[in-house]
Amino acid sequence: MRNEKTKILVEGAAMVALATVLSFIRVFKLPWGGSITLLSMLPIVLFSIRRGVKSGLVVSFVYALVQFGQGVMDGLFGWGLTPGMLVACILLDYLGAFFVLGLAGMFRKKDIVGWIAGIFVAVGLRFVFHFLSGVVIWGSFGELWSGFSTDNTWLYSFLYNGCYMLPEMIFTMIGAIVLLKTPQTKRFLMND
């Protein structure tokens, strides 16, 4: 039993480290903020699929803390937010948004269709957290790209966050499908 807990701990730490390294590899950085990374969510969602939601949420919380640390290094405290808005930003854009990735294992017993559904739900919830942050905290509106501007905060936040979260979701799902279609990965994920 103790050996199994150690194994889970080591796997979780390795997945957080891998996800963190991948989050620094930006495939595309959007001009108004946000970026598409090289499958940075994939290690966390695969861990959740392998070990279940409980362990997945623990690892995703650690990953959320690491992402918060990256946000601090990127100047989070210099963004001019009031103390209340800063706390809301930390809760929505960091802790909540990355914590929900641990839910990817919710349908893990349903084979590949369930795994993909779990990834869809988890990454979709991450989008919801960023979307709400855009509406509640940032209240953003304006020009997203040349020729398109809006004063509708809801639409702006939806489009702004959708421009990087939708590709992130698609790439994560494609990466998962490629890995999950290989017999070795499938055996590894289901070997408790």
CA distance 47 to 52: 8
- What's the pLDDT at 21? 97
CA distance 20 to 23: 5
This prediction's pTM: 0.91
- What's the pLDDT at 187? 79
Q: Helix, strand or coil for residue 59?
A: helix
- What's the pLDDT at 139? 79
- What's the pLDDT at 182? 87
- What's the pLDDT at 147? 63
Residue type, 55: S
pLDDT tens sequence across 130-144: 999 989 888 766 666
Residue type, 126: R
- What's the pLDDT at 148? 66
- What's the pLDDT at 127? 98
Residue type, 164: Y
Residue type, 96: G
CA distance 189 to 59: 16
User: Which residues make Cβ contacts (< 8 Å) with residue 80, sequence separation at least 6?
Assistant: none
Residue numbers in the chain where pLDDT is lower than 50? none
* Parallel/antiparallel/unpaired status of strands 26-29 and 35-37: antiparallel
Residue closest to 113 by CA, chosen among 192, 184, 49, 188: 49
